[in-house]
Amino acid sequence: MTQVQLTIRSSGHCFAEGHHVMKGAPKTPVRFEAIWAEIDHPTQGKILYDTGYTWRFLDATQRFPQRIYAELTKVSILPEEEAHRQVDPAQVKHLICSHIHADHVGGLRDFPGATSWASEECLAQFDRLPNWRSWARGVLKSLFPDDWRETCQTFESTTQVSHDILGQGYDLFADGCVVLFPLPGHAAGQHGALLQTTEGPVFLVADAFWDIRAVTEGLVPNPIVRIFFEDMKAYAQTLAMLKEFHETHPDVPLVATHCPQAAKRITPHNA
Ligand SMILES: [Zn+2]
């Protein structure tokens, strides 16, 4: 069976209020890493699952009203943390967008030789949102390459597979080692990637939860965050599905973008 090599990385961070991340927790700010993954495929080259923040986030949010987004999130990003400084762009062949929020697509422009992948629903959302108010849905269109919409490939165009718990997925290279599954709720079109790595399976779940304790202890976000979420009902269903997956496959790590547990796996940018 084909296996990939996985390196968990991070580019920049922001802060969220503790009691938003977990109902009943103190208000103390919680550090949110912007985690992404470097995936080495034996024949398809390097694949990135998300790309974290870049300086472009700060640039795109300088003016009102986008500035509100920056003020709410308090983003920090060092130049040396940016994805293209951690991975040689010449080697990156594929960019998978879990969803199109700014902290996931910040580096897309730095990998001009790579093919972008997203779900049909993400592309539809990109089309639906007018430039002037997309920021309120976490989307900053200036972060995307000019030809992104025309050249981006869809998960749905690849080989369909079925998983007994995760439902219908898309096997990116038809070799079983990178399979995308819908994780609706947090953002339109969000997909996780179930990887077969040299160290066993790993499920990258983006923002399906912010803290693994949502799955293991039922400590879910404060309902106040529903204003940032696409669909709270779908979010709860996705969480229930991941709980079942975790109970059935307790050895498969669930790696979420901002989860403190996942942050322990980060290979530092200067390592
Ligand atoms: Zn998000």
Distance from the alpha carbon of residue 186 to the mean position of ligand 1, in angstroms = 7
Distance from the alpha carbon of residue 65 to the mean position of ligand 1, in angstroms = 19
Distance from the alpha carbon of residue 207 to the mean position of ligand 1, in angstroms = 5
Give pLDDT, residue 122.
98
- Is this prediction's pTM over 0.85? yes
Distance from the alpha carbon of residue 145 to the mean position of ligand 1, in angstroms = 19
Distance from the alpha carbon of residue 114 to the mean position of ligand 1, in angstroms = 22
Question: Which residue in 214, 201, 183, 18 sits closest to 98, CA to CA?
Answer: 183
In a domain, 58, yes or no: yes
In a domain, 213, yes or no: yes
In a domain, 72, yes or no: yes
In a domain, 205, yes or no: yes
Distance from the alpha carbon of residue 150 to the mean position of ligand 1, in angstroms = 23
In a domain, 268, yes or no: no
Distance from the alpha carbon of residue 43 to the mean position of ligand 1, in angstroms = 30
Q: Could you read off the pLDDT of 181-225 as tens digits, one per residue? A: 999 999 999 999 999 999 999 999 999 999 999 999 988 888 777
Residues within 5 Å of ion ligand 1, judged at the Cβ atom: 101, 187, 207
**Cα(45)–Cα(93) distance, rounded to whole angstroms?**
6
Distance from the alpha carbon of residue 69 to the mean position of ligand 1, in angstroms = 13
Tell me the pLDDT band of 270, cut-offs 50, 70 and 90: confident
In a domain, 270, yes or no: no
Give the list of residues 6+ apart from residue 222 with CB closer than 8 angstroms, or none.
19, 20, 21, 22, 23
Tell me the pLDDT band of 70, cut-offs 50, 70 and 90: confident
In a domain, 34, yes or no: yes
Distance from the alpha carbon of residue 51 to the mean position of ligand 1, in angstroms = 12
Give pLDDT, residue 74.
84
Give pLDDT, residue 133.
85
Give pLDDT, residue 69.
76
Give Rg (Cα) of the chain. Answer: 17
**Cα(186)–Cα(99) distance, rounded to whole angstroms?**
9
Domain count, the chain: 1
In a domain, 269, yes or no: no
Distance from the alpha carbon of residue 19 to the mean position of ligand 1, in angstroms = 18
Higher pLDDT, residue 2 or 136: 2
**Cα(108)–Cα(102) distance, rounded to whole angstroms?**
10
User: How large is the average pLDDT for residues 168-173?
Assistant: 98
Name the strand (E) or helix (H) holding 111. none
Domain CATH number, residue 67: 3.60.15.10
CB 206 within 8 A of CB 257: yes
Domain range for residue 249?
5-263
Q: Could you read off the pLDDT of 111-142 as tens digits, one per residue? A: 999 999 999 999 999 999 988 888 888 999 99
Which residues, in sequence order, are bridge partners of residue 206? 256
Range with the largest mean pLDDT of 3-12, 67-76, 229-238: 3-12
CB 234 within 8 A of CB 50: no
Higher pLDDT, residue 184 or 68: 184
